[in-house]
Amino acid sequence: MDRFDIVVIGAGHAGCEAALAGARMGLHTLLLTLNLDAIALMPCNPAIGGTGKGHLVREIDALGGEMGRAIDDTFIQSRMLNTGKGPAVHSLRAQADKRAYQERMKRALFAEPNLEVRQGECGEILTEGSAVTGVRTTTGAQIACRAVVVCSGVYLDSRIIIGEASWQGGPQGLLASAHLAGALRRLGIALRRFKTGTPPRIEERSIDFDEMEPQPGDETITPFSFMTDGTLKNRAQCYLTYTNEETHRIIRENIHRAPMYQGTIKGTGARYCPSIEDKIMRFADKERHQLFLEPEALHTNEWYVQGLSTSLPEDVQIAMLHTIPGLRHARVLRLAYAIEYECIDPLQLRADLSLRALNGLYFAGQINGTSGYEEAGAQGILAGINAARFVQGRESVILGRDQGYIGVLVDDLTTKGTNEPYRMMTSRCEYRLLLRQDNADLRLTEIGHSVGLASDERLARMQRKRTQTLEAIARLKKTWIAKSDALDRFMALHGQGEAAGSVCAADLIRRPGIGYADLEMIDPAWTPLPREVLQQVDIFLRYEGYLEKERRQVEAFRRSEDTLLPQGFDYMTLDTLRIEARQKLTAQQPRSLGEASRISGVSPGDITVLMVWLEKRSREHHVN
């Protein structure tokens, strides 16, 4: 019998991060995948990042994960989104060469000395008492281990649906996982059915690019990884086009053939990524919908039509495509499809992504009800860290909502749950000005280093950035620019009124249109700063008051998070609580008062009752 410390089931974006985390922390790890050719597959859009999602990737990187470095090595076009807004919502997004990305991630996996990768299907999770003891494959191999991380993605009892046709299968013609869902049910784990979908892929030679709007990447590219050096260059172009009334007419006339409207699809779909037929029916007054054309790789003739996700029949898909500017002669290489799959109710999980009912069993990725590669990778690295620490006999790493988007993601799942595929957005984060994508290293690198993932070099880089930032801010606050003709010219050049007297250099940066780089003209002590330090200086000084306000909010939040609740307590015995609150608290066993306050069905009045009860309980223990 083979023996490992950790077995990771599934080699998608969650599985890759989980396996690498476990192995890099010194644990003998096995990554078990249905198909070696599908490792790190991008079955939907060929891109990493996006609004809110880019934050997750930079946090994965800050902790010592692989996704950021892999996309930096294989991207073909990169853009920073939302630059017309404040820095809290700036989010990086890069088009990937999806084939190169897969190979890059494979190289990382196979280069890791503590990691073995194997093709096979898990048919059973073995247990003894309340602990995991191993897995059994469908071919009969029994593998002993102390922890299992399930990262099965959308393959769990999955079904492909195109019009009237449907069959059991995974994304892009791959096999479904036919046995694992039954194994989870036998362990008493509650499952539900979700649905997602993907647009068609069309042949490059059949696209009329001159009928569409070019969408260039950024001239100066920001890498995802804080460890990426050198100049990055775009190597591809994307394009924009739109649906029109003729497109909408074809969809409306064939809506009775849409599986969503026939009742063929039973799973719950993603609200924030609707199919084109759903958009047309829900937003009937909208004259057009945006479509984004993306190359799938540098050396392929496949293009992805983002915004045209559908499960309509083949003939309708083709007719619909041929009404769209630039796609009137499009040849379909891969039809769009919907996919239904099983996932767990994440309320069954603790904040470290372990199952409450069974020690050593962790879940990460779309099996937890999320959507997206980035959400999967974020959960994967956290589950991998905590599976390793479980085997090491150490406390779990739990990220709070005040520490990162990963903390928000996991807290939302494990306290609020989700009734539809969960997508990360900046609006979900209460402290988003503090938790920006540009300072993920300052927030999380020390945690990654403490668990053994972030290298000494990475830690030193972060510390150097922090020191240089603090020193520059301190100097600017002490530097005064004397009243002079040069200062007046500077103010006029930047659209500011004439200064009444001497001006503090820090106050100048707080004015619209002025940044640290501009001060070279008038600051005699000015020295160039690294780009990442300059960015921190500008943001801190411009938003100092708002940042301080959020820090005070975080302090109040932490007080409630530090008020711990007893684990394993039967809240049904507290008759001063409403019955719904008693049931929810007993089932979910929140760690803290703050966590309890975020559980659906627990009211502010219930929290007050808990506070009184905790105080009384503390006094009684103190007396005893």
469-479 confidence digits (pLDDT tens)? 999 999 999 99
CA distances from 80 to 52, 55, 434 (A): 12, 11, 19
Among 195, 190, 155, 191, residue whose Cα is nearest residue 172: 155
* Sheet (strand 147-150) strand order: 115-119, 29-33, 6-9, 147-150, 361-363
Contact 364, 14 (CB under 8 A): yes
Q: How far apart are the C-alpha atoms of 82 and 79, rounded to whole Å?
A: 10
CA 510, chain centre distance (Å): 32
Residues 6+ apart with CB under 8 A from 478: none
% of residues, the chain, pLDDT over 70: 100
pLDDT in the model for residue 269: 83
**Average pLDDT of 543-572?**
93
**Mean pLDDT of the 305-312 span:** 96
Residues in the chain: 624
DSSP for 403-437 reads T-HHHHHHHIIIII--SS-B---GGG-TTTTTS-G
Beta strand residue intervals within 10-121, DSSP E: 29-33, 47-49, 75-81, 91-96, 115-119
Looking at 2.40.30.260, 2.40.50.100, 3.30.1200.10, 2.60.120.620, the CATH number of the domain 201-338 comes to 2.40.30.260
Q: Using an 8 Å Cβ cutoff, are 302 and 203 in contact?
A: yes
- pLDDT for 622: 66
Q: What is the secondary structure of 552-588 as a DSSP string?
A: HHHHHHHHHHHSB--TT--GGG-TTS-HHHHHHHHHH
Instruction: Report domain extents, the chain.
Output: 2-74+101-199+340-451, 201-338, 466-549, 563-623
Mean pLDDT on 71-98: 97
The pLDDT value recorded for residue 328 is 97
227-285 tens-digit pLDDT: 999 999 999 999 999 999 999 999 999 999 999 888 888 888 888 788 999 999 989 89
On the question of pLDDT at 1 being above 80, the answer is no
- Residue 12 sits at φ, ψ, to 5 deg, of -80, -155
How many Cα atoms sit within 13 Å of 543 on the Cβ side? Answer: 18
Strand partners, 32: 9, 118
HSE, side-chain direction, 13 A CA sphere, residue 119 = 6
Mean pLDDT of 453-467: 98
Q: Which two tokens stand for residue 339?
A: 């996919």
Question: Within 10 A of 287 (CB to CB), how many other CB atoms are there?
Answer: 10
CATH code at 563-623: 1.10.150.570
- Calpha distance 40→373 (Å, rounded): 9
**Of all helices (H) and strands (E), which one includes residue 132?**
strand 131-137
How high is the pLDDT of residue 365?
98
What pLDDT sits at residue 624?
Answer: 58
Look at 217 and 620; give whichever has higher pLDDT: 217
Q: What is the mean pLDDT of residues 428-440?
A: 97
CB atoms within 10 A of CB 607: 18
Tell me, what's the pLDDT at 264?
A: 86
**pLDDT band for position 215 (cuts 50, 70, 90):** very high
CA distance 315 to 331: 12
Sole residue written with tokens 């539809």:
420
Helix 373-392, helix 440-451: angle, nearest 10:
30
Q: In the structure, what pLDDT confidence band is assigned to residue 33 with cuts at 50, 70 and 90?
A: very high
pLDDT for residue 343 is more than 70: yes
Domain 2-74+101-199+340-451: which CATH number of 3.40.50.300, 3.50.50.60, 3.40.190.10, 1.10.340.30: 3.50.50.60
d(CA 200, CA 321): 9
User: Is residue 202 within 8 Å of 331, Cβ to Cβ?
Assistant: yes
Window from 82-96, 115-129, 281-295, 600-614 with minimum mean pLDDT: 600-614
Gap between the Cα atoms of 306 and 400, Å rounded? 33
User: Is 70:42 a contact under the CB 8 Å cutoff?
Assistant: no
443, 465, 542 from 530: Cα distances, Å: 19, 9, 18
CA dihedral 174→179→181→183, nearest 10 degrees, is: -150
Listed in sequence order, the residues at least 6 apart from 107 whose beta carbon sits closer than 8 Å to its beta carbon are none
pLDDT class of 604 with cuts at 50, 70, 90: confident
Mean pLDDT to the nearest integer, 150-157: 97
Task: Choose the CATH number for 466-549 among 1.10.10.1800, 3.20.20.70, 3.30.450.20, 3.30.70.60.
Answer: 1.10.10.1800
Q: What is the C-alpha to C-alpha distance for residues 145 and 243, in angstroms, rounded to an integer?
A: 52
Q: Residue 97 corresponds to which tokens in the numbers above?
A: 């060469």
> Does the pLDDT of residue 623 top 70, yes or no?
no
State the amino acid at position 622 in one-letter form.
H
Q: Quote the CA–CA distance of 522 and 433 in Å, as a whole number.
A: 30
pLDDT category, 616, cuts 50, 70, 90?
confident
The answer to whether the CB of 385 falls within 8 A of the CB of 21 is yes
Lookup: tokens for 93: 């997004």
- Tell me the DSSP string of 322-335: TTSTT-TT--EEE-
What pLDDT, on a 0 to 100 scale, did the predictor assign at position 511? Answer: 94
pLDDT the model gives residue 452: 97
